[in-house]
């Protein structure tokens, strides 16, 4: 009895999962689910149209419209290396975090002064741009440093 | 009466002489105490004709008793004893034979010699760990020696290749560098959704494709002419912007067209016309059967 209940439960679970995964079409064998089609339609028609109401021509047009995105996603998954993927994700996360950090002009100016002093001390021949020009990139750099240092505080390093 | 007068006269003479003697003594004392301002050399302390006295300084030297060569003076990091004869040999070589005994050196220098011996011993008996050895962990993620060695090699331009040759501080700095991508990966995993990930990968792939596709001026001009024709057909009095002003817009459009063309080449699209929301409770097998039932709907682009 217990086994039967488990089997029934599993069957029910699988049927609900597959319900949302009903196929609206395929692109090179990749499924486009009805759910995905409805999501796209919602965005395109501002919620006025659904897959069920869509005429034949409309369905074909929609799947053709959705095809490039599916193909790009598949190509990206296949062709991008692990390193590239990691770099892209890290870059995205970093940008997201950096956008939340605000560096004031005063802080940027202080950092600029420090850098120019250090450059003079090192007798660097490189041309130092004026603060106005360097301000934005300097702010970005400072924000990135903040994000990284905050992140590294969470690192528990054990050297063996 | 005469006698009395003589006695009084004598007494007064004695009094006067004693008073005048005190004045002389005082004036002499004053001369002695006064500083000589005449510029003459003061020879008061010089006794001519006598031999000068020499100050005898007694130098007290603590004479250390030298220990025998077999005496243990320390231990190497692996626990092996350091004997005095090793240190003596080292000093002799270092001082070119001038000093042969460790015990002749002050404590600071003896410690320096011991430190040097330990360092040399470590270099001589250095054993690097295998490449698979875990050299550090970052939040539980293992960093293998091979990984650290590769990074070290790249950082030092090939000068240092072995992580185990670094001291404690250097190791920490290197592991901190290697920890950064691990921490970033962790942050990404916990903060970036699958949908976001897919969008990022797509964007990156498209950017890569863009970089490989070339667009010629002819192609841009052809697109411009086609657009112009279309616009004029719709409205013969339409204002058409000059070709130069469209620059990058045209290039991007050609790029997109080319990319789409490449992407949709030989693509196989099927549309399931029979699926509708009321049939959503069907299991996957059933829906695939339906797909198979409509071969005529198969669109090949």
Which DSSP string corresponds to B6-31?
Answer: HHHHHHHHHHHHHHHHHHHHHHHHHH
Please report, rounded to a whole number, the percentage of residues in chain A having pLDDT higher than 70. Answer: 87
Q: Are residues A149 and A86 in the same domain?
A: yes
Interface with A, mutate which of B262, B269, B281, B294 (most A CBs under 10 A): B269
pLDDT band at A93 (very low <50, low <70, confident <90, very high): very high
Tokens 């002749």 belong to residue: B104
Check residue B138 and give its pLDDT: 95
Please state, as a whole number, how many other Cβ atoms lie within 10 Å of the Cβ of residue B147: 16
The distance of B263 to chain A (nearest Cα, Å) reads 7
Please report, rounded to a whole number, the percentage of residues in chain A having pLDDT higher than 90. Answer: 74
Residues of A in contact with B279 (CB under 8 A): 22
Of the candidates A15, A24, A67, the beta carbon closest to that of B267 is on A67
Check residue B44 and give its pLDDT: 54
> Comparing C-alpha atoms, which of A56, A57, A68 is closest to residue A32?
A68
Residues of A in contact with B194 (CB under 8 A): none
Check residue B245 and give its pLDDT: 87
Please state, as a whole number, how many other Cβ atoms lie within 10 Å of the Cβ of residue B271: 25
Does a structural domain hold residue A143?
yes
Does a structural domain hold residue A91?
yes
Q: Are residues A140 and A96 in the same domain?
A: yes
Among candidate residues A58, A79, A100, the one where a domain is terminated: A79
- Binding-face residues of B in 184-203 toward A, CB within 8 A: 184-185, 187-188, 191-192, 196-198, 200-203
| Angle, vertex CA A61, rays to CA A58 and CA A65, nearest 5 | 135
Does a structural domain hold residue A9?
no
Cα gap B72→B78, rounded to integer Å? 15
CATH number of B134-191: 1.10.3470, 1.10.8, 2.30.42, 3.30.70? 1.10.8
Check residue B231 and give its pLDDT: 92
Check residue B1 and give its pLDDT: 53
More confident residue, A90 or A14: A90
| pTM listed for this prediction | 0.59
Does a structural domain hold residue A114?
yes
Q: Which residues pair with B134 in a beta bridge?
A: B144
Kindly report which listed range (A19-23, A100-104, A128-132, B275-279) carries the lowest average pLDDT score. Answer: B275-279
The distance of B124 to chain A (nearest Cα, Å) reads 22
pLDDT over 50 at A4, yes or no: no
Check residue B65 and give its pLDDT: 82
Identify the helix (H) or strand (E) that includes residue B259. helix B243-263
Check residue B134 and give its pLDDT: 96
Of the candidates B184, B272, B284, the beta carbon closest to that of A21 is on B284
Segments of chain B scoring below 70 in pLDDT: 1-64, 275-301
Contacts of A94 (CB under 8 A, 6+ apart): A144, A147, B184
The number of domains in chain A is 2
Check residue A126 and give its pLDDT: 84
Domain boundaries, position A104:
82-153
């Amino acid at each position: 009895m217990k086994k039967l209940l488990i089997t029934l439960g599993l069957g029910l679970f699988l049927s609900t999962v597959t319900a949302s995964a009903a196929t609206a079409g395929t692109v090179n064998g990749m499924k486009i689910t009805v759910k995905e089609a409805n999501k796209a339609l919602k965005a395109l028609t501002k919620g006025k149209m659904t897959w069920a109401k869509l005429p034949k021509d409309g369905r074909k047009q929609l799947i053709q419209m959705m095809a490039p995105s599916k193909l790009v996603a598949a190509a990206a998954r296949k062709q991008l290396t692990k390193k590239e993927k990691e770099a892209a994700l890290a870059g995205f996360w970093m940008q997201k975090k950096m956008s939340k950090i605000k560096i004031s002009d005063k802080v940027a100016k202080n950092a600029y002064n420090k850098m120019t002093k250090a450059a003079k001390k090192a007798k660097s021949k490189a041309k130092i741009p004026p603060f106005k020009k360097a301000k934005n990139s300097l702010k970005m750099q400072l924000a990135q440093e903040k994000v990284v240092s905050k992140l590294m505080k969470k690192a528990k390093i054990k050297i063996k | 009466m005469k006698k009395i007068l003589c006695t009084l006269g004598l007494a007064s003479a004695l009094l006067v002489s004693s008073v005048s003697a005190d004045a002389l003594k005082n004036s002499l004392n004053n001369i002695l105490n006064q500083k000589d301002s005449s510029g003459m050399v003061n020879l008061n302390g010089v006794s001519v004709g006598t031999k000068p006295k020499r100050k005898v300084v007694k130098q007290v030297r603590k004479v250390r008793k030298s220990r025998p060569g077999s005496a243990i003076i320390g231990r190497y990091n692996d626990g092996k004893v350091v004997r005095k004869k090793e240190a003596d040999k080292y000093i002799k070589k270092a001082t070119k034979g001038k000093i042969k005994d460790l015990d002749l050196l002050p404590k600071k220098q003896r410690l320096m010699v011991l430190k040097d011996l330990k360092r040399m011993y470590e270099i001589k008996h250095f054993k690097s760990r295998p490449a698979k050895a875990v050299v550090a962990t970052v939040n539980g993620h293992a960093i293998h020696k091979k990984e650290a060695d590769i990074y070290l090699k790249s950082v030092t331009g090939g000068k240092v290749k072995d992580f185990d040759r670094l001291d404690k501080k250097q190791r920490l700095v290197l592991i901190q560098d290697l920890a950064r991508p691990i921490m970033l990966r962790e942050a990404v995993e916990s903060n970036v959704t699958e949908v976001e990930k897919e969008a990022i990968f797509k964007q990156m792939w498209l950017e890569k494709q863009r970089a490989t596709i070339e667009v010629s001026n002819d192609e841009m001009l052809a697109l411009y002419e086609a657009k112009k024709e279309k616009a004029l057909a719709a409205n013969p009095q339409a204002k058409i912007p000059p070709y130069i002003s469209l620059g990058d817009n045209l290039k991007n459009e050609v790029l997109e067209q080319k990319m789409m063309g490449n992407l949709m080449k030989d693509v196989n699209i099927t549309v399931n016309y029979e699926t509708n929301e009321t049939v959503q409770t069907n299991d996957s097998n059933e829906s695939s059967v339906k797909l198979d039932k409509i071969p005529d709907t198969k669109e090949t682009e």
